[in-house]
């Protein structure tokens, strides 16, 4: 028989003192972004390239754009994974996750700064006619590639702006809806809010799936506008969910150590979060292999080219590292029940998965930096490691973390008004 549990008072679970860490994160993030831009325009970043691909920008600026895009996609995956988690818990009327659902709600706050970063790094340059990230933005390139020119009604600056505005309006709107109702329920204890959020979750899940899929096409897939993949959205989704569950582990441990979730989030909850982390490690591997095998079996040059310069030549080491480091190693590390129930061990694997997810995004984006430049074969050039990779990551992570901490500050770390909270606190694995 399960023991009776007492619901903690609101004051016991209030997250206070996050203003200073949030400000520090913002300062570090701004410094990182400034350093990225400064390095891009410095002589150390590289020489100008006489090519229509970089007609309006030096190569250092192009490298900066790709480095920033890697960091943005990495952080965007985490925040969208958080939004998916919140919607899924309401859709399934999940009881076990109520004690950690507020973490998912808080992580979605990072979507706001990411919206402005996507506008500044992706949309505005395209509207200005710069192709320093996306080849299709260059009219000369499009004219020389009939397939790209055929896609012009979709791949053009104004329509990209409309789609990006729509994506983030959907994501931020849904995050705001679920978070505000959850926080309001802490005050009024109204169970009808739970029913309202549950009723909206079905439509929200469908809209979320469609918007994430098309956003992955627009921001990542079309770096190579002549390549097709109908499974790429699922690939992006798998990595996003895996990275979010890693963050869920780390933030839950952090809030537990601060005292707000002490005795509330138990080893049973970490066990379940660990199972989800393990599951999405496997799911990402399954989708990645499926995408590769379909194209490899078809053996069509237009389709296999994307994999050719990512799996042979100078990029082969990164491909091998992903095969082992993103699948085999974490699979063996997370398969044990004892690891999932050990906070320190689970935290280690959470950090590990976040690192390798960054490498995966880097492997998707960076080969396109040299693709299309005359005389530069991406397979022979290899990974363009640059200090901007680090400064861009610090910059984007800093401003996103600022938004997340501000969302948590002076808010309960626990959805104390949810009628299923008692069920969640008594949760046990069998």
Residue 224, token pair as written in the block: 């190579």
Report DSSP letters for 19-72, one per residue: HHHHHHHHHHHHHHHHHHHHHHTSGGG-----SGGGTTS-HHHHHHHHHHHHHH
pLDDT single digits (tens) 349-396: 999 999 999 999 999 999 888 765 555 566 566 788 889 999 999 999
Using alpha carbons, select from 153, 289, 126, 310 the residue that is nearest to residue 227. Answer: 310
Using alpha carbons, select from 15, 10, 404 the residue that is nearest to residue 186. Answer: 10
Asked whether residue 52 carries a pLDDT value surpassing 80, the answer given is no
Cα four-point dihedral sign 173, 175, 181, 186: negative
Instruction: Give the start-to-end residue ranges of the domains of the chain.
Output: 10-425
CA-CA distance, 270 to 260, in Å (whole number)?
16
pLDDT single digits (tens) 155-178: 999 999 999 999 999 999 999 999
17 vs 164: which has the higher pLDDT: 164
- CB of 40 closer than 8 Å to CB of 129: no
Using alpha carbons, select from 6, 14, 32, 21 the residue that is nearest to residue 396. Answer: 32
Using alpha carbons, select from 289, 295, 308, 299 the residue that is nearest to residue 371. Answer: 308
Angle subtended at Cα 75 by Cα 279 and Cα 328, rounded to the nearest 5 degrees: 35
Asked whether residue 58 carries a pLDDT value surpassing 60, the answer given is no
Radius of gyration of the chain (CA): 22
Using alpha carbons, select from 422, 420, 14, 410 the residue that is nearest to residue 197. Answer: 420
Residue 420, token pair as written in the block: 């299923």
pLDDT single digits (tens) 307-365: 888 888 888 899 999 999 999 999 999 999 999 999 999 999 999 999 999 999 999 99
Beta carbons within 8 Å of 359's beta carbon, 6+ residues apart: 318, 321, 322, 325, 326
CA-CA distance, 177 to 105, in Å (whole number)?
10
Beta carbons within 8 Å of 368's beta carbon, 6+ residues apart: 66, 135, 223, 224, 378
CA-CA distance, 198 to 289, in Å (whole number)?
35
Residue count (the chain): 430
- What is the mean pLDDT of the segment spanning 225-233? 90
pLDDT-above-70 percentage for the chain:
92
Beta carbons within 8 Å of 362's beta carbon, 6+ residues apart: 70, 318, 383, 389
Residue 409, pLDDT score:
94
pLDDT single digits (tens) 268-312: 999 999 999 999 999 999 999 999 998 888 887 777 888 888 888
């Amino acid at each position: 028989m399960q023991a009776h549990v007492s619901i903690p008072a609101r004051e016991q679970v209030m997250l206070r003192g996050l203003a200073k860490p949030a400000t520090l994160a913002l300062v570090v993030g701004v410094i990182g972004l400034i350093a990225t831009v400064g390095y891009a325009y410095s002589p150390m970043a590289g020489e100008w390239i006489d090519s229509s691909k970089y007609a309006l920008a030096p190569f250092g600026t192009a490298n900066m754009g790709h480095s920033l895009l890697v960091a943005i996609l990495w952080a965007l995956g985490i925040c969208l994974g958080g939004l998916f988690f919140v919607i899924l818990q309401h859709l399934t009327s999940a009881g076990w996750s109520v004690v950690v659902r507020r973490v998912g709600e808080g992580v979605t706050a990072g979507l706001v700064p990411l919206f402005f970063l996507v506008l500044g790094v992706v949309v505005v340059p395209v509207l200005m006619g710069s192709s320093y990230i996306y080849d299709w933005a260059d009219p000369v390139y499009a004219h020389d590639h009939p397939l790209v020119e055929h896609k012009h009604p979709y791949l053009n600056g104004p329509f990209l702006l409309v789609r990006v505005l729509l994506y983030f309006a959907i994501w931020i709107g849904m995050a705001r809806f679920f978070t505000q109702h959850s926080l309001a329920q802490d005050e009024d204890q109204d169970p009808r809010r739970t029913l309202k959020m549950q009723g909206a979750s079905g439509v929200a899940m469908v809209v979320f799936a469609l918007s994430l899929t098309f956003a992955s096409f627009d921001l990542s897939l079309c770096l190579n506008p002549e390549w097709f993949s109908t499974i790429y959205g699922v690939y992006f989704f798998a990595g996003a969910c895996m990275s979010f569950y890693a963050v869920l582990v780390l933030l839950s441990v952090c809030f537990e150590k601060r005292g707000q979730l002490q005795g509330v989030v138990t080893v049973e909850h970490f066990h379940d979060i660990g199972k989800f982390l393990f599951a999405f490690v496997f799911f990402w591997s399954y989708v990645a292999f499926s995408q590769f095998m379909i194209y490899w079996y078809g053996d069509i040059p237009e389709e296999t080219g994307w994999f050719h310069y990512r799996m042979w030549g100078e990029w082969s080491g990164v491909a091998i590292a992903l095969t082992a480091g993103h699948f085999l190693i974490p699979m063996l590390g997370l398969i044990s029940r004892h690891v999932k129930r050990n906070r320190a061990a689970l935290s280690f694997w959470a950090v590990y998965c976040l690192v390798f997810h960054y490498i995966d995004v880097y492997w998707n984006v960076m080969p396109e930096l040299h693709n299309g430049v005359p005389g530069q074969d991406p397979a022979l050039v290899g990974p363009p490691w640059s200090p901007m990779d680090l400064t861009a990551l610090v910059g984007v992570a800093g401003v996103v973390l600022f938004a997340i901490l501000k969302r948590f500050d002076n808010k309960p770390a626990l959805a104390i008004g949810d009628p299923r909270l008692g069920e969640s606190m008594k949760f046990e694995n069998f």
